[in-house]
Structure 1
Amino acid sequence: MNDLSFSPRAHWRATRVTMQRNLAAAPRPLAERAVKAGLRLAGALLRWRPLEAMLEERAWRPRLETIELRMPGLPAGFDGLRILHVSDTHLGSRHHRLAGRIRDLLDGVSADLVTFTGDANCDALESPPEIGAQWLAHALSGVQAPLGTFAVLGNHDPAGMVEALEAWGIRVLANEHAIVRRGGDAICIAGTDDPHAFWTPGADATLAHAPKDFYRIALIHSAACREAAAREGFQLYLCGHTHGGQICLRPGRPLLALFGTALGFASGVWREGRMIGHTSRGLGTSSLPVRIQCPPAATLIVLRAGPASAGAAAFPMDNPN
């Protein structure tokens, strides 16, 4: 059972649409244009279908990993809470095979709660959000989550993704928070818009005003707001955005610390003060269908009441397909 507390959606939407329009019209910095030109060239070279198919086959082998986190202050009624953390699916009209593999991987997974931390859309903000939303809903359709599925938007998701996801029963937190109840206990889940291109004072207010008498979880597209969330006393922070780097020198060591995210926060479990965070490697790819030593993953996070985890081991369960 859960209650949803809304900030004014109409105001958020108007602001978001204006920011999208301004972003599309703004001249991009030279360095960014150069990187994008390089990616477009590489993408064009990879459009040779046999090579593209081989790379997609290697990049689209999703796995399910399980971690257990000990969390001080976790209400007794939520001891053992199972959160399926999914992110960055980037599913478009030609990604039915990846969506099917994720569906097969997650079919029958027993979670209490599903969290999606953004970028359901394939690539461009102009892409129809209904496609990414439909494939995400298909991918999650076999998951048991009696406490619901909550999502936030990423930098690739247009404003219309809110209605597209909610049409499939996925609650989007657009600078909002929800109270989730189980038995006699409750926790708060706060979600903000993308912190890179679409951050507004409303997002700051969401973190500041989430009720402090609850155990609180932040859903934000990237780890960029970890310091603000930690200052506000959040206990758990879930994010994605980096894809784990997509290309790693070795597992957990991205070739580049992508998108301004510090290397130590690019994937897996991390700390910011007393707050514990988890950055998903994501299930899709962006720009190039390439993953090297960085397999796509969903994560089942099991929360246990007790002293804070000193670390967390991941237990991969590879997709048999």
Structure 2
Amino acid sequence: MNRRKRNIALSVFAAAAAGLCLYADNKRIDVQEIPVKLAGLPKAFNGFRIAHLSDLHLPNCACNPLKLAEIVKRIKPDAIALTGDLVDRFTYFDADGLSAVTKMLADIAPCFAVVGNHEVKSGVVPEWAGILKRSGVTVLSGKPTEVRRGEDRIIFWGLPDGNPFRLYRSGTEDDIEVVLSHYPENIQQYVSAGLRLVLTGHAHGGQWRFAGRGLISPGEGLFPKFTSGLYVVNNTKMIVSRGLRNGIPVRIFNSPHIPVVVLQKEYRSV
């Protein structure tokens, strides 16, 4: 084999190896446990685990419903948060897939969901909400849903349009609120509204990740700031899921992602 043919063969081999690595990375689900300390967290909720799933974009999820349910079951969540874009407006409304996924998840732990831009723009919100409710998922809007353990409680909210100023907040300042929103780019609104814990998605991890930073996101454009994991701005803690979508545009160095939020009581020194 002459040098030219050898170089071509090596190039083809390298390209094939890179493609296989990329394919494998796009199928690997990154389960990231994130402790979140909250002052005033009721004792009964210390260690409460929330599996945070976002941006499945069915039928383009990185894994099938059965495998996803197995992964979530191993997390042993006390609750499951679904922060929008469970469907994909550029393909078709996968009602059967949505029903299968949400039924399996609701059998594992109480599930709470909020819409994303793909549900809204595809015009399927009524059908989407009906499927989720029949599956046993609580569809959140601007009104509170309590989770109780004995006399203690935490409150789940949903922001369908990402606007925190439409919350019908009727509790006390001592209530621990877990707010589901699709949009991480609204962080300053969450801070201004005094929200302490917000779970979001939408950014897809910045699609291509280099040195821990994303390249582009729908809400922030090039070099977005909020794409993956925990961000703390003043007294607001926001957790961004990189999502579970797989397909075109392809992910690079950006595995599908399930953050696991672990609530912990923060003890302030006197």
| TM-score, reference length from structure 2 | 0.79
Deviation string 1:243-274 (CA, Å, 9 cap, x unpaired) is 11121123x21122442277331111001210
Q: How does 1:259-270 map to 2 (within 5 A)?
A: 259-260=219-220, 263-270=224-231
* 1:177 shift after superposition: 2.0
1:65 matches 2:22: no
**How has the CA–CA distance of structure 1 residues 139 and 190 changed in structure 2, closer, same or farther, with 3 Å as cutoff?**
same
* 1:68 shift after superposition: 1.2
Q: Which amino acid aligns with 2:257?
A: A
**Residue of 112, 134, 146 corresponding to 1:150:** 112
Deviation string 1:132-157 (CA, Å, 9 cap, x unpaired) is 422432663673x2xx1101011111
Q: Which amino acid aligns with 2:229?
A: G
Match of 1:239 in 2: 200
* 1:117 shift after superposition: 0.4
Cα distance in 1, alignment partners of residues 84 and 215 from structure 2: 23
Cα distance in 2, alignment partners of residues 177 and 296 from structure 1: 30
Q: How does 1:191-206 map to 2 (within 5 A)?
A: 191-195=158-162, 204-206=165-167
SS in 2 for 1:107: helix
* 1:236 shift after superposition: 0.5
SS in 2 for 1:167: helix
1:168 matches 2:128: no
SS in 1 for 2:244: coil
Cα distance in 1, alignment partners of residues 239 and 184 from structure 2: 9
Cα distance in 2, alignment partners of residues 62 and 108 from structure 1: 13
**How has the CA–CA distance of structure 1 residues 95 and 286 changed in structure 2, closer, same or farther, with 3 Å as cutoff?**
closer
Match of 1:140 in 2: 105
Deviation string 1:281-320 (CA, Å, 9 cap, x unpaired) is 11113642x2111111112111110158xxxxxxxxxxxx
SS in 2 for 1:174: coil
CA contact 1:87–1:117 (8 Å) conserved in 2: yes
Q: Which amino acid aligns with 2:147?
A: V
**How has the CA–CA distance of structure 1 residues 286 and 153 changed in structure 2, closer, same or farther, with 3 Å as cutoff?**
farther
**How has the CA–CA distance of structure 1 residues 283 and 256 changed in structure 2, closer, same or farther, with 3 Å as cutoff?**
same
Deviation string 1:24-70 (CA, Å, 9 cap, x unpaired) is xxxxxxxxxxxxxxxxxxxxxxxxxxxx9996554222132212121
CA contact 1:108–1:142 (8 Å) conserved in 2: no
The alignment covers a number of residue pairs equal to: 244
Match of 1:224 in 2: 185
**Residue of 276, 289, 295 corresponding to 2:255:** 295
**Residue of 272, 284, 288 corresponding to 2:245:** 284
* 1:232 shift after superposition: 2.5
Q: Which amino acid aligns with 2:207?
A: Q
Cα distance in 1, alignment partners of residues 193 and 148 from structure 2: 22
* 1:121 shift after superposition: 0.2
CA contact 1:91–1:131 (8 Å) conserved in 2: no
**How has the CA–CA distance of structure 1 residues 272 and 265 changed in structure 2, closer, same or farther, with 3 Å as cutoff?**
same
Cα distance in 1, alignment partners of residues 129 and 241 from structure 2: 21
**How has the CA–CA distance of structure 1 residues 128 and 282 changed in structure 2, closer, same or farther, with 3 Å as cutoff?**
same
SS in 1 for 2:131: helix
Unaligned residue ranges in structure 1 (runs of 5+): 1-51, 309-321
Q: How does 1:54-93 map to 2 (within 5 A)?
A: 57-92=24-59
Deviation string 1:70-109 (CA, Å, 9 cap, x unpaired) is 11121222111111111111121x7595434323322343
| TM-score, reference length from structure 1 | 0.67
Q: Which amino acid aligns with 1:91?
A: L
Q: Which moved more, 1:152-161 or 1:53-62?
A: 53-62
CA contact 1:91–1:99 (8 Å) conserved in 2: no
Taking only the aligned residue pairs, the percentage that are identical comes to 28
Q: Which amino acid aligns with 2:96?
A: I
CA contact 1:129–1:161 (8 Å) conserved in 2: no
1:113 matches 2:75: no
Cα distance in 1, alignment partners of residues 56 and 210 from structure 2: 23
* 1:275 shift after superposition: 1.2
